[in-house]
Amino acid sequence: MSQPSVTSGINVAFDKFLRTAIEKNSSELLNSVLSFIRRVCRDSIQYRKLNHFNDYIYFPTRIYLLLHSKQRANSIAEVKFSKGYIEILSLHLKEVIWFDINIFGKNARDIADKSLINQFYRSAFQSFSNFLYTVISLNDWQTFNNALVDYNGLSEGVFDNNYQINYELKRLKQEANFDSNNKAVKRLQLEVDTNNKYQEYKRQVLSGIKYWLIFLYSENVINSETLEKTLVETGEGYTSIEDDSKDILKMRSDFSTAFDWGSWDHIQRESGKVYFPPMVSDWTTLGFLISRLRERKLAFIVDELSPAELNDVPFLYDKLASLKQIVLRTYERWIGIVHVESQEELQDLINKFILQVGQAKRRNVGHRETTIASADLSDRLIAEFQQKMVRSWQKEIRIRQLFKHFENFEDVSNEEIKLKFVGQRNFFEKAKMLFIEGEFHSEIYGLEQLGGQIGRNEDDLFFHIVKNSAPEKITAKSMSKLLEDGLSKLRSAGRSPNAIFMEPEYGYKDDELLNHPLFSTRPIISESNGVTLPSIGSFDGVTIFWSFSRSLKNHALIAEFESAFQMLFKSNDERFDHELQVLVEPISKELAAEKLRNEPMKWRTTDEGIELSEDESMTIIETSVIIEIGTLLDFRVIDKSKFVFGDIASPIAD
Amino acid sequence: MQVWQLSSKKSLRKSILETLKEDQPDLYISKKPNILKNFISYLSDKRHWWTIPPLVIGIYIALTLINIPFFAVVSIDEKIADTLIDQRTSNVATIISMTLAVIGLLLGNLAIKEPITYNLLFIRSRVHLIVTYTLSTILCLILTSTLRNSTPVGYEYLYPQAVLAGTYMVISILFFIGYLFRTVMLFSNSHELQQVLKDEFFSEAKKNIRLHLLNKLSKQRYIDLMRRMEYTEASFWSGLGGVIIENEDDNVDLFKDDKLIYDINLIDLEARLKKCDPAISKEYLALGINEVSGSHTSYISINVSGSCVDIKFNKIKLEHYLVRKSADQLLSPSFEFAKYFEGKLEEYAEQGKIKKANEVLALFGDIYELEMKHT
């Protein structure tokens, strides 16, 4: 439970006093008001009490709103009274910044105290920003002009003039080889940043006002003459491109805490209804674009910014690209403001500017890609990837399960037999991020299908071999007929068939088979070593297995499985120590160079149409990775008389 | 276990008040405690009027019985004593009636006729004390004159002594009345009175700041201790879970248990905390002196996992380390004089009294400065 402060009542009483003073048109009383405010502000800076400062520093807006309502009064004396005081409000505010904060801030020596003084600056600038915004809302252009003159009269903050320290910082940076984690550099950088806050606030407030005016024009709240005049008054062209570029990124991302911009609105909203004021990131970007074009500052320089600060650049680029469409559609409204003759000229300017932002975006991405390209592959992530692959592969192996069940496989490690490689070795573009640790690590979804694919390919290989071994073929009208024929054929030859293979579709589509008296949904062999075998059921005491293999399309294989086929594998191959081998390899320089040689167009330009240097293209290529995944095995037909391969004359409809 | 009082070594309240006195002496009006002044102030309080008559009678009897050689210079025989006692009684009655009439006249001419100034006048002039003193003296004299012929045999010599003592007391009344007149005169001068009001305003503000600092600094010390012992402040949300801050029974009336936290025994608390199992999760609720809250019933340090550590042992009942009083004994800041001046400011503005308004504003500026300097 907090108790009321000693001065909380005074604040309320003072507000009443202020209102009375204005009601009574008493300039003496109003002078007392102003000198009291100034005193409290001064004391609060001296004793570093920001909360008291914030209670009073918004006085220009507070007094202005009271005085402005008097402007419509009939009495000339009243109008004169209010005009006279409105004129000096911004001057008082300027003096708070210019004299009070500067004087009492002078004795600040350490960074903490300087930051505190900066907060006073910030509040004062926010007050100025609010005042200008209020004046604009009331279309009081004379006061606006007046206030801007005062505002532009503010030149230096108390911590300005740091040529020495800036020079020192540059020197240190060079000594530290531009290592951003160097302690001395960090410390000095912090100091420089603290010292620069005053100029930063001053610049941002003015940019905010400028962008807001442009936004008001785009919303038809003010006309082009007013915009032209006010933009000139805000003093265009004094800010550097670096600063402006930095500011817009800040404005777009940090808007909630900035100079109260989030609450700015140009429409009188109905009370009781939910509404959202204009998005800060939207109108600042529009204002930024137009003022860049207008001042012909078409560069976008963000060299000094850290990668974190550049995070917003891609979004800025996208926003600018969409604004470009809007501006071009309503080009008649803008050619006057931007000082161009035609739509083409406007388009030309915008394109030039956006290209510059695109290059900055490229640089942002470039940082990310350099990091990825130079990072080492993580063994942990590779192992994780391998396990994932093995899991999905195991779900799809069917034939291999059967060979295991019937135990008709042979280890040919010591024989000079070349086995077949079932799998793939692929160049995966931009996939290296999957295998590195750190902030740029990212998942790629759907890759685990690769493992499953290998399982299916094994099936395929098997049926391909069987099909091409010139087996004994029979043809029948339907599947059930085929099975009857095939089984009786094998049985009459003294064989005991124990496996039928067909497509899974027959298990639910072929009514003739399903209703056949010999068909049962219960397989004879349903599982092996705890693994369920892929089965539809059984026919005349023989289990029906299914496989997705394309070679089985409208075919069926009936066999005495263990004596008809054999699977071969090697257990001692140095690369294939597992059943499924998963290898992840980075891109070597040679390979990258080769890629670039083969497809220069693909690698030398980005999606934004920006051309890259050879090194940059190489970096992009190096963010890729090679993934090799597969099994090494072969199948062999031992006895052709022990199986039949059937064709179906009239296949079931798909 | 309820703690009523802490020894000055263990009392956080005393320790903070001492540091305050040392570090910010200008928050205090006088540096040394004045026992006599405090005693007179105590007697001057309206609520303590009943202490005065017995005290006066006691003094009277003492003066009578103890034959002080200095006073005994005057020798009075029984006859003169008879005359004197009657005269003194009527003298005092006359003085009283005259005094009251004059005071009435002066009060009518008070420079600033506000309830607050009357109030202040009564306190400053100690009128309650003086009137009660005078009446008690009259009582003594009347009793003496009535009992003049009933002096017990063998003690007749006491009678002249009693008359003499009464005379001296009557003389002392003159000085008191002089003081009374002086004060009342002061209050008829508007400039002087304004100064008195300002002084009072300042001492009121100083008192409020002292209260504020007592709460703030004690909370700070409490939090410092907790941080030093590596405790973290329980957030509202973690409290909601009911795990970290627990009450004895689950259905707690939130405000029923609210108590004034009068003092904290940080020394014993620290010793207890040091005994705690270091592995458990540690959280606390912040609290300070002169605060009404329910957090005094809570515990600090409860382990979250709850399974392996004996919760009972690690529950520290905070109330063992607090001096609690009922919530109505909270010392709240007073704004009597602040309100007076706030009202005045508005009034001066309405009447266009610029000079006076500026004076008040300057005063407010000083109060702001006082607050900024000390908080």
**Mind listing the pLDDT tens digit for each residue in A68-117?**
888 776 788 888 888 889 999 999 999 999 888 988 888 887 888 999 99
Contact between chains at B211 and A3 (C-beta distance less than 8 A): yes
The residue ranges of DSSP E strands in chain B, in sequence order, are: 232-233, 259-264, 283-284, 291-293, 299-300, 316-317, 322-326
For residue A34, the model assigns a pLDDT of 93
For residue B300, the model assigns a pLDDT of 53
Contact between chains at A43 and B350 (C-beta distance less than 8 A): no
- pLDDT for residue A178 is more than 70: no
Residue of B nearest to A51 (CA): B372
Distance between CA atoms of B226 and B219, rounded to whole angstroms? 11
For residue A244, the model assigns a pLDDT of 86
A296: left (phi over 0), alpha (psi -120 to 50) or beta: left
For residue A580, the model assigns a pLDDT of 80
Give SS3 for A425.
strand
Select the residue of A13, A44, A46 nearest B345 (Cβ to Cβ): A13
Q: Is A333 on the interface with B (CB under 8 A)?
A: no
Write the CB contacts of B224 (distance below 8 Å, at least 6 apart in sequence). none
Q: Which residues lie across from A611 on neighbouring strands?
A: A605
Count of residues in chain A: 654
Distance between CA atoms of A536 and A526, rounded to whole angstroms? 10
> CB–CB of B334/B312 below 8 Å?
no
Q: Which residues lie across from A500 on neighbouring strands?
A: A544, A558
Q: Is A541 on the interface with B (CB under 8 A)?
A: no
The pair of structure tokens assigned to A593 is 């160079």
Instruction: Tell how strand A542-546 and strand A535-539 pair up.
Output: antiparallel
> Which tops the pLDDT comparison, B161 or A576?
B161
The residue ranges of DSSP E strands in B100-165, in sequence order, are: none
> CB–CB of A163/A157 below 8 Å?
no
Write the CB contacts of B229 (distance below 8 Å, at least 6 apart in sequence). B270, B273, B274, B282
For residue B163, the model assigns a pLDDT of 84
> Tell me, what amino acid is at B136?
S
- pLDDT for residue A227 is more than 80: yes
pLDDT-derived band at A653, boundaries 50, 70, 90? low
For residue A257, the model assigns a pLDDT of 59
B186 to chain A, minimum CA–CA distance in Å?
Answer: 28
> CB–CB of A211/A288 below 8 Å?
yes
Query: For B13-17, which contacts have Cβ atoms below 8 Å and span 24 or more sequence positions?
Result: B13/B214, B13/B218, B13/B262, B13/B263, B13/B264, B13/B289, B13/B323, B16/B213, B16/B214, B16/B217, B16/B218, B16/B221, B16/B289, B17/B214
Asked which of A456-465, A560-569, B272-281 is least confident by mean pLDDT, the reply is B272-281
- The kind and range of the H/E element at A536 are strand A535-539
> CB–CB of B369/A8 below 8 Å?
no
Count the neighbouring beta carbons within 10 Å of the beta carbon of residue A156.
12
Distance between CA atoms of A314 and A297, rounded to whole angstroms? 20
- The kind and range of the H/E element at A581 are strand A581-586
> Which tops the pLDDT comparison, B347 or A531?
B347
Distance between CA atoms of B132 and B51, rounded to whole angstroms? 10
Q: What number of helices (H) and strands (E) belong to chain A?
A: 26, 14
Distance between CA atoms of A434 and A443, rounded to whole angstroms? 5
Distances (CA, A) of B22 to A505, B17, B33, B217, B289: 95, 9, 14, 14, 19
Q: Which of A234, A229, A29 is closest to A128 using CA atoms? A: A234
Contact between chains at A7 and B367 (C-beta distance less than 8 A): yes
Distance between CA atoms of A48 and A105, rounded to whole angstroms? 9
A38 to chain B, minimum CA–CA distance in Å?
Answer: 10
Tell me the mean pLDDT per 10 residues along chain B, length 375: 66 85 78 75 81 90 79 72 83 84 80 83 84 88 83 78 85 88 83 88 89 89 83 56 42 58 83 66 72 62 40 58 80 87 90 89 91 86
Distance between CA atoms of B222 and B224, rounded to whole angstroms? 5
Residue of A nearest to B347 (CA): A17
Contact between chains at A13 and B346 (C-beta distance less than 8 A): yes
With vertex at residue B321, the alpha carbon angle to CA B320 and CA B326, rounded to the nearest 5 degrees, is: 80
> CB–CB of B302/B314 below 8 Å?
yes
Distance between CA atoms of B320 and B312, rounded to whole angstroms? 15
Distance between CA atoms of A381 and B313, rounded to whole angstroms? 45
Q: For B323-339, b where at least 16 C-beta lie within 10 A, e where not — what string?
A: bbbeeeebbebebebbe
- pLDDT for residue A582 is more than 90: no
DSSP character at residue A549: -
Write the CB contacts of A124 (distance below 8 Å, at least 6 apart in sequence). A57, A93, A96, A97, A101
Report how far Cα B304 is from the mean position of its chain's Cα atoms: 46
Terminal Cα distance for chain A, rounded: 77
pLDDT tens sequence across A311-346 = 788 888 889 999 999 999 988 889 888 888 888 899
Contact between chains at B345 and A52 (C-beta distance less than 8 A): no
- pLDDT for residue A421 is more than 90: no
For residue A122, the model assigns a pLDDT of 92
- pLDDT for residue A38 is more than 90: yes
Q: Is A44 on the interface with B (CB under 8 A)?
A: yes
pLDDT tens sequence across A238-261 = 788 888 888 888 888 775 557 888
Contacts of A13 in chain B (CB under 8 A): 341-343, 345-346, 364
Q: Which residues lie across from A640 on neighbouring strands?
A: none
The pair of structure tokens assigned to A24 is 């009574």
> Tell me, what amino acid is at B304?
V
Q: Which residues lie across from A566 on neighbouring strands?
A: A636
Q: Which of A273, A287, A180 is closest to A244 using CA atoms? A: A287
Asked which of A515-529, A550-564, A596-610, B257-271 is least confident by mean pLDDT, the reply is A596-610
- pLDDT for residue A129 is more than 90: yes
Q: Which residues lie across from B260 on neighbouring strands?
A: B292, B325
Which ranges of A493-525 does DSSP label H, i.e. alpha helix?
A: 506-509, 511-514
Contact between chains at B354 and A28 (C-beta distance less than 8 A): yes
Query: For A155-158, which contacts have Cβ atoms below 8 Å and span 24 or more sequence positions?
Result: A156/A102, A156/A198, A157/A102, A157/A105, A157/A121, A157/A197, A157/A198, A157/A199, A157/A202, A158/A101, A158/A102, A158/A103, A158/A105, A158/A106, A158/A108, A158/A117, A158/A198
Which ranges of A254-376 does DSSP label H, i.e. alpha helix?
A: 280-295, 313-329, 331-338, 343-374
Residue of A nearest to B345 (CA): A17
- pLDDT for residue A436 is more than 50: yes
Q: How many interface pairs between A and B have CB atoms less than 8 angstroms apart?
A: 95
Contact between chains at A43 and B372 (C-beta distance less than 8 A): yes
- pLDDT for residue A120 is more than 90: yes
For residue A209, the model assigns a pLDDT of 93
> CB–CB of B345/B208 below 8 Å?
no
The pair of structure tokens assigned to A27 is 């300039």
For residue A90, the model assigns a pLDDT of 92
DSSP character at residue A101: I
Give SS3 for B2.
coil
With vertex at residue A179, the alpha carbon angle to CA A178 and CA A180, rounded to the nearest 5 degrees, is: 100
> Which tops the pLDDT comparison, A1 or A373?
A373
- Beta-carbon-side half-sphere exposure of residue A492 (alpha carbons within 13 Å): 7
For residue A37, the model assigns a pLDDT of 94
User: How high is the mean pLDDT of chain A?
Assistant: 84
Select the residue of B209, B339, B354 nearest A29 (Cβ to Cβ): B354
Residue in this structure with the two tokens 């005009």, named with its chain if needed: A83
Phi, then psi, of B233 in degrees rounded to 5: -75, 130
> CB–CB of A396/A448 below 8 Å?
no
The pair of structure tokens assigned to A178 is 């531009």
Interface list for chain B against chain A, based on CB atoms closer than 8 Å = 205, 208-209, 211-212, 215, 291-293, 332-333, 335, 338-339, 341-343, 345-346, 349-350, 352, 354, 357-358, 361, 364-365, 367-373, 375
B333 to chain A, minimum CA–CA distance in Å?
Answer: 8
